[in-house]
Every structure is written in structure tokens, then in C-alpha cells.
Amino acid sequence: MKKACLLVFLFCGLCWSKTLFAQEDPKVYLTGSLGAGLTYYNMNGADPRQNPYGYMVNGQVTVHAGQLSLPFSVYMNQQGTSFSQPFNRFGFSPSYKWATLHLGHRMMFFNPYTLSGTTFLGAGVELNPGIFRFSAMYGQFQPAIDQQTANFGQPQFRQLGYAGKIGIGTDKNYIDLIFFQAADDRSSLNLIDSVQNSISAEQNTALGLSGRLEFFDGKLSLKADGGVSIFTRNQGAPGVDVTTTGLLQDILDFISPNISTNVAGAGSAELAYREKNFNLGLEYRYVEEEYRTLGLNYLIDDLEQITIKPGVNLFKNKLIISGSYGIQNNNLNDRRAAKTTRNIGSVNISWMPSQKFFFSGGYSNFSIYQSVVIDSILNDSLLVDQVNHNINGMARYMWSNKKFQQSVSLTFNFQTLADNNNFTSDFTENRVFNNTAMYQLTNIKKRWTITGGGHYILYNTATLSNTRIGVQGQYNQSLLKSKLNLAGGINISRSMSEIGDGWISNINTNVSYRIAQRQSLSFRLFYIVNDVNQSFSELRGSIAFRIGFDTRKRKEK
């Protein structure tokens, strides 16, 4: 029923635009697109990864009224596994001058250590009148899922949260204070005791501070972000006996800490200096162990990192050199049995002496050193001492005349992991070579392009060696005054290793036709055959129709 309502809404909006806004220069108009398609999947020789038939529907509609814009979007498809349900999301973010309203499924950025990049279903607002900065949101971060509908039998509580940000300044100079709180709703599920004991309801309160300052006409800038998170892993855990009065007691009543509550901090700061032909950056990052908030999808904790990033432009930007070097440590609270130190360095070069020739290359070095802190079991104080080297390069030469344009390109990548620990080197050391040579020919007048080349890939370890050699080709053609576009490619390679040799081949085809100025039909096909070890073939296909609209372009007949 929900899917039908969304489709009706989009269809009505399109029809409405034809009748209500059919004028040359309307004050109110619509822009956007609607798309729908069908998919096909077939697998022989192995277990299928999705259902043979599926569909996809998507649409974007934006209502414009002077300086006010109301964007709407919807996406639906049929997932290809027995555990999946049709996936529906709907949301829009109308804006007027310095005000933006978020409704439906949205993402808002407050602070990298409080709320950032997490989708919620609810409402939010951003207000930036002059130097005043204000943002707020309230919504559902995850829905309740019971045992019967949970993937792999793992239920989850409904999770609600809200956040606010208040600050002063502009995009170049500002300071913001952030508050965030989210919690699982234990009343959203009726669980039996065995399941209740297997999952726990979480709760989180976080405070954040962000700021940025510029000096010397923007040449020098300082940016900093920080956060303190109070995270409770289990709301049902025994409470803590803390007796106090006044404001502190009110805060404790609001947070409701218990024995599973953890308090941790995180922050980062970057000092950058930029001249016309030179730049230098210094960055510091610190994340305490077990730092976590419900407003972040993922964050590496127990981390301290210092990075320096210089760069220089020479010979009127024909030669650009940049690099970085950083030191990273963990075990900040000395709770782990081992301490790990990482050194990360890189340098990149871009050289373009003329319009015909271009070269880019780089080298990166990633080393990791781990030593025992609590040496009560192991006699050797060294656990890990590894260095990862990566060298890459790409060179391209182009030439042309009135009829043809041609180019030759070479790419090279070498990666090796060296292990200085004799007890583990046989299991960890490896080398990877990846080299490609390509030639491209374009007929400028007839608008076709042929690309061909070969590749060589080598992967070596102490126990395994795999080599892959192959050729590839691609053809693109534009016909009927660019209404019809044809594309097709083939890739054939021979894989050779101790466990067996075999061929891997894949073919892809893409045909698109522009029916009218804003209407197009496309067809895609991908076929792969693999006879290495277990032979199988896989076929994927799709056909889709898309219509775009802009009511400003429509004229009365």
C-alpha cells in the first residue's frame, strides 16, 4: 500500500506539472525524473545469489517557488534473497534562503564525533541567518524488528534520538556546540526471556564542540572537532549508587548511568598553511578506547595519530608533488596485552609537460610494529614487525589529427608485504604485480571509439602463486544524432596457480536510446563464464525507462 501511494504521488505530480505549470516562464515549476525497470538473473553451476526476477523504481521531484525549493525522492526495489523485503525510502529537504527543513529519511552532519552520516526517519531543521547557526533533529535511527521478521533470527529494538547544534560564525570562521542523545526503546518489542537476555538495549548521550578559524587572508587555518560520549551498553544492567545534590544529581537522573556505562572522549585538530605554490598541513587525532556513539556508523577507537602533509607546485603547475607521513599508536589506556605502532608515509607526483603527455606516480609505506606490554605468557617481546610497500604509476601519450584521436597508456602497480618476524613471515609475506597496457582509437567524425589492451597480474605468497594474463576490448558508438548509444566489451584471461588453471571470460553490453528530449530506454547485459576450480556461468540483465521533466521548458500549443 505504501509503495502504491508513493507511485501515485509521483505520477500525479508529473501530470499536475503538465496542466498547472504549462507556461513559458512560470514562477512555480517542477523539475525531476522518474525511472522504472526490470531485472533478470540466472546462475548455472553454483548457488544463485539473488532471485531470477526483480524490479526497481526511483524518482526525484523538486518543486521550485521563487527562492523556495522542495525536493522529493523515492527509491524502491526487490532485493534478491529470501531474507529481504522491498526497500522503500522517502524524504525531502525544502529550503528557503537561509532555512532548510528535512523530512522523512534524511542524513544530517553535526560533528564527526557525535552525529554524522547516520540515516534517520524523522524531521530536522537548519537555520543560518547571518552569523547565527542552528540545527536540530528528531527521529528514528532503526525500526523495531521482532523474531519472526528479523534477518537470521536477530531482533532489534526501535531506536529514537534527537540532536541540537548552536553556533556563531560563517563557513570559514565558526564555533559550534552540539548535543546528541539516542536510546533503544525496550517497550518496542515483546521478547521471551531467552531472547531478552541475548540482546541489550543501548543508550547514549554525547556532547561535541567544533570550530574553525582563518588567519592572514585565509593562508593559515585551524580546524578542530571534539566529543565526549556517555555510552550505556545495557539499560537493564544494575545501577550505580551515587548520592549527590543539585545540578549534578539532575544530570545523573537524566543520563541514568549503570555498571555498563562508559565515558570516553575523542577529538582531532588540523593546522593548514596554503600559499600559491606551497601547502603544509599538520593533523592530530585522538580517540579513547571504547569511544562510541549511536550517531556514527563506524569509528576506530583506541587511536592516537599525528600526520604531516606537505605539497608543492612547480613550473606553473606542470609538476605537482605532495606527500604525507604519520605515526599511529593504540593501547592508550594500557589495558591491552600488546601495543601497536604504525608508520604511514606516502609521496605522489603528477607531471604534465605538454598537452600530449601525462605521468602520475606514487609510493606509500605502511609499517606496523607490535610489542608485548604484559609479557607473562610470551617470552618474545616482539609480536609483529611488518612493512607494506606500494608503488604505482601511470603514463599516457595522446596524439590526433582532423579525423582520429589516439592514445597509449601504461599502468603499473607493485605491492609487497615484508615481515621481519621469522615465526610469521611464511604466512604473511606476499607480492602483487598488476600491469595494464591500453590503446584507444576514436573517430571524431563518426563518433566511435575502440579500446584494446592486455593485463598481467601476479600474486605470490610462500605457499601460493597465482598468475593471470589476459586481453580486453571495448567498443562505443553514438548514432542517430546521439539518440542511440551502443557499448560493448569483452575481457578474457587465463588464470594459472597450483590449485588449477582455467579461463575467466565476461561480456557486457549496454544499449540506450533517447526516445524524446527527456525520455530514454536502456538495456544492459552482463555475462561471465568461469572454469577455474568450480565451473559456473552467470547472467545479469536489466531494462529500464526514464523520463525527466522541467515545466519551464513546456509551452502552450
Task: Using alpha carbons, select from 80, 68, 10, 7 the residue that is nearest to residue 39.
Answer: 80
pLDDT tens digits for 68-81?
Answer: 667 777 778 765 33
Q: What is the pLDDT of residue 376?
A: 41
DSSP strands (E only) in 498-551: 502-516, 519-530, 536-550
Window from 44-48, 277-281, 428-432 with minimum mean pLDDT: 428-432
Q: Is the dihedral of CA 231, 234, 235, 240 positive or negative?
A: negative
Residue 4 has pLDDT above 50, yes or no: no
| pLDDT single digits (tens) 435-468 | 999 999 999 999 999 999 999 999 988 778 899 9
Q: Where are the alpha helices (DSSP H) in 410-487?
A: 425-428
CA distance 141 to 288: 24
Looking at the whole model, is its pTM more than 0.75?
A: no
441 with 449: CB under 8 angstroms?
yes
Q: Mind listing the pLDDT tens digit for each residue in 508-541? A: 999 999 998 889 999 999 999 998 878 899 999 9
Q: What is the pLDDT of residue 189?
A: 80
Partners of 87 in beta bridges: 77
All three cell numbers of 152, joined, read 537470521
pLDDT-derived band at 202 (thresholds 50, 70, 90) equals very high
Alpha carbons 132 and 336: distance in angstroms, whole number: 45
Per residue in 184-200, pLDDT (tens digit) is 998 888 766 555 556 88
In the structure grid, which three cell numbers stand for residue 464, read together? 601460493
Mean pLDDT computed over 269-298 = 94
Looking only at Cα atoms, what is the longest distance across the chain?
A: 89
The residue length of the chain stands at 557
Computed from CA positions of residues 78, 80, 84, 89, in that sequence, does the dihedral angle turn out positive or negative?
Answer: negative
Question: What's the rounded Cα separation, in Å, for the pair 157 and 234?
Answer: 12
| Nearest-5° Cα angle at 239, 236 to 241 | 175
Using the predicted structure, report yes or no on whether residue 240 has a pLDDT greater than 90. Answer: no
Phi, psi of 471 (to 5 degrees): -125, 160
Mean pLDDT is lowest, of 37-51, 114-128, 364-378, 483-497, for: 364-378
405 vs 423, more confident: 405
